Amino acid sequence: MNKKLLCVVKPRKDENIFSYINRLSIENMYETNTWILNDSDFNHYIGPRNLLPWKFDFSSLMNLTGLSLNELLITTFYNEFDYEKGKFKHFNFTLYQDSLMNAHAKVCPRCLETVGIHHKLWDIRIFLVCPIHNCFLVSSCSSCGKPIKQYRKKFYYCKCNKDLRTLKVKNADESNSFVSRIIYYKFNSDTRNFKESNLNLLTKLDLKYILLIYHFFIRLYYRDKSRVGSISIESIKYFV
């Protein structure tokens, strides 16, 4: 017999799937997220860039929640990247494999504290600053020094038990936050308050093309020697 969750909340467009599973766990009064993560076939290696309908089988989570694939896919970049399977293979690769985080996460401790969700945009590698709090996202735990994982037993805690909402943040200035702000306003389809909007052609492009352009130039810069790391703040500086 198929297991079904008693309480099902609707996924939000601005949260990632691990954040959604956390809300489901809270709603169903599970002590940790492990039950739903495991029952939905998530393992420690799954990250946002693996979450394509032809790479990851969503059927267990669909059964658990009774939701359709399309309803669940709003917690991934499937709609924003908008392409069909098999087309533009090189672009697909860049958008998913190069642009998105793997099993590691970066978080804004202040958003975790105030909003309680993992914003989907944090999973974009070049998104390094929280535009709401103007601080750099944090990618490792200050207590144990290890990278923050997407797969966490307790959503708000590192494996070492450090509360991620209490991690110290470093303030960013306007030039550090340019890329993140452009992505944030594009995602929310609202560039009215983006004061550079008339000056920068990037604001006229869809989110996926902004990412492709950045990755094209980053690759040129590195001459394809290495992939862009999630925490290479130094390297991003050259492109803003």
Binding site for Zn ion (CB under 5 A): 108, 110-111, 130, 132-133, 141, 143-144, 158, 160, 162
Separation CA 73–CA 204 (nearest Å):
25
Residue 175 CB, shortest distance to Zn ion, in Å, is 18
Separation in Å, CA 199 to CA 82, 138, 149: 27, 30, 37
Nearest distance from residue 141's CB to Zn ion, in Å?
Answer: 3
Which residues partner with 138 through β-bridges? 107
Nearer to Zn ion, 70 or 171 (CB): 171
Q: How far is the CB of 137 from Zn ion (least distance, A)?
A: 8
User: Does residue 158 contact residue 214 with C-beta atoms inside 8 Å?
Assistant: no
Contact 228, 125 (CB under 8 A): yes
Nearer to Zn ion, 74 or 137 (CB): 137
Alpha carbon 5 to its chain's center: 25
- The nearest distance, CB 109 to Zn ion, in angstroms, is 8
Q: Give whichever of 120 and 215 is closer to Zn ion, judged by the CB atom.
A: 120
Least distance from Zn ion to the Cβ atom of residue 188, Å: 14
Kindly tell me which of 13 and 55 has the beta carbon lying closer to Zn ion.
Answer: 13
Helices then strands, each counted (H, E), the chain: 10, 2
| Tokens found for residue 21 | 């599973």
Sign of the alpha-carbon dihedral angle for 12, 13, 17, 18: negative
Nearer Cβ to Zn ion (65/134): 134
Give the type of residue at 154.
K
